[in-house]
Structure 1
Amino acid sequence: MNWNHWFRQIHRWPSVAFTAAVTVDIIAALQGKSTVWVGLLARLPLCLLMLTDLYLFLLPDAARRRGRWE
């Protein structure tokens, strides 16, 4: 298995966690029970998504510079 496959797999799971956290945040806001920690619940998966997304975003440029397309 190569690094690209691992980064794509790692990128998928925080996206699921982020979607769940945003759903919980919306439900809490609609019920009027929103607190600060519920609002911050989505920040950790979002930070992980940002890091893996930057790698995946720059991957085609790096492959082009190496002379091959992955």
Structure 2
Amino acid sequence: MNWNAWIRQTHRWLSIAFTAVVVAIFVTLGMGKEPAQWVYFLPLFPLALMTLTGLYMFALPYAAKWRGAQRADG
């Protein structure tokens, strides 16, 4: 698997983990239980990693254009 595919797959799995944690928190709140304060920080780790992988994927088309322009000028 190449680097870009690995980043995309990681981003997908992180989004599943993030969604599962957020849903679990809402279900816990819906049952009338108040989770420990640290539980609210659990979604931040996958969210931070998703931000990094998302920014990488966002920049890919621009980097490809930039590299293509450099090769054409070469």
Is TM-score (shorter-chain normalized) higher than 0.5? Answer: yes
- Alignment-mate amino acid for residue 56 of structure 2: Y
- Alignment-mate amino acid for residue 30 of structure 2: L
Q: What are the superposed Cα offsets for residues 18-47 of structure 1, whole Å, 9 maximum, x if unpaired?
A: 010010111111123233122112111111
Runs of 4+ that moved beyond 6 A: none
- CA RMSD in angstroms, aligned pairs only: 1.5
Q: How many residue pairs get matched? A: 68
Match of 1:38 in 2: 39
Give the direction of change, closer, same or farther, for the CA distance of 1:63–1:30 in structure 2 (3 Å limit): same
Structure 2: state its 5+ residue gaps: 70-74
Q: What are the superposed Cα offsets for residues 35-66 of structure 1, whole Å, 9 maximum, x if unpaired?
A: 31221121111111011001001111001111
Match of 1:4 in 2: 4
| Larger Rg, first or second structure (1 or 2) | 2
